[in-house]
Amino acid sequence: MLEWIWTTLLLTTLSIMLARVVVNRRGSSRGIAESVLYFVSTALPLALVSRSVFKTTTRVPPQLDALSAAVVDTMRWAQNSNNVAALRRYGAISAARRLRAVRARGAAVMGSNALLAMTHARDSTGGMNAHGVLPSQAPSGIWLAQHTSHLDNVSDPSIVVLLYIHGGGFCCGSPTSSIDSLFDIVCCFNRKEFKKRLVVFSLEYPLAPESRYTAQLDAATSAYWHLVRDLNVSNLLVGGDSGGAHIAINLLNRLAKEQSRASKPIASILFSPCVDPGMTFTPDTPHPISHFDTISTEGARFRSMNAFGNLDGLPIPATDSSEFDSKLPQRPSFDSAQLRQQLKMRDLYRLSSDDLNLAERGTLIVFGGAEIMASAIEHFSNTMQKKGSVDGTSASFLQVAKFDGLPHNFHLIPLTSLKKSGDSARDLVVSFIQKCAV
């Protein structure tokens, strides 16, 4: 018996050592196979040792069990890649799985042009908007509803529309990246004893490095005005996660400059907003817990370079993706005033309360306490709170929910151990929408 145990331990150790060799040699690819090897050879053993042997939460937050911590660590390792093409392939597989899952649950999913055509067919004005203009094409994206009938007339006051902007560090992601979480919110909202019904338009926008910022913001702005002017949506919210939340914040700032207060969305919902893409924020006091996140400082900076340019003059990282080598950004030749303006557009924590513009009735921010941007999000939230006070609104105008010990976009991670927290975040969003959509 003892011999069998020692043989098993020896074979396991050799397997782990072999896996680590493969991971180190193929680490730049970081695809599914490499991620599995990293999970087995590194993430899981470290999590087990940290939790079981040393009885410490220095490496693993107490809110995560060892298995969940290993998954989060593996996600961080896989995302910390300079291979944009590989990141997109991995994201596409995940998004396709999510789309199949919501369709199996009976979700109504419709392309944006299909809904526009349906609106034209029904509209007695021949599809012209309030300005007498016939839109030639809808912005790219998908419509999501619990029932197809909820999409028949999105201009009806009983329909609440959420313009959702997906995350992905401006380089990755798609309109279906968060579709299962969004469908949960839709179904939960519609189950309540509430006369209104929620539908979602999930935007598809151009990605970096092929399209640099502000191309993503331009797409969101066009989508917003399409919903307001072409489809006459009256109950409109704006939301997003991660980089999508970043775009949503800048969208609110841009709308305030373009039009009057009457054009604002009624509310905004920000999941783990990426307010510090360049990872330059330095808190006044050290973060009270160690960060344990699905994204890394290096990975965030790489995506930031691709989207905004190398504003900080950092060394350009090497890549193994030749199709993107020619697109890697060099340091732009801005003067100091231009550079400051570019940094404020990228790093939203730099904005003052005078720079910020809020949604009409409320803003909800949901994030994890173990995020690497947690301190920056808290600083940004405080600035938003000052803005609300200056505007003469009550403290409830801004609602901030921090989930201690949880990582970036925890509500999108399909782990049983995170389901309770994800459900709590969902219920929080539903209650918030109900309060703002009355």
Q: How far apart are CA 364 and CA 161, in angstroms?
A: 16
The pLDDT tens digits of the residues spanning 301-313 come to 989 999 998 887 7
How far is residue 364's CA from residue 351's CA, in Å, rounded to a whole number? Answer: 18
Highest mean pLDDT among 51-65, 70-84, 143-157: 143-157
Cβ(185)–Cβ(198) under 8 Å? Answer: yes
pLDDT at residue 145 is higher than 70: yes
Split at pLDDT 50, 70, 90, the class of 334 is low
Which of 98-102, 353-357, 425-429 holds the top average pLDDT?
A: 425-429
CA–CA separation, 6 vs 10, rounded Å? 6
Task: Using a pLDDT cut of 70, give the percent of the chain over it.
Answer: 77
Cβ proximity of 372 and 295 under 8 Å: yes
Rounded CA separation 224/161 (Å): 11
| pLDDT score of 394 more than 50 | no
* pLDDT in the model for residue 286: 57
- The answer to pTM > 0.85 is yes
Mean pLDDT to the nearest integer, 15-24: 50
For the ranges 60-69, 173-182, 277-286, 370-379, which has the lowest average pLDDT?
277-286
What distances in angstroms separate CA 294 from CA 215, 275, 407, one per listed residue? 26, 16, 6
Q: Are 154 and 215 in contact (CB under 8 A)?
A: no
Span between the terminal Cα atoms of the chain, in Å: 69
Q: Which of 57-71, 153-167, 371-385 is least confident?
A: 57-71
Q: What percent of the chain has pLDDT over 90?
A: 49
Q: Give the three-state DSSP class for 85.
A: helix
- Give the separation between CA 26 and CA 17, rounded to whole angstroms: 14
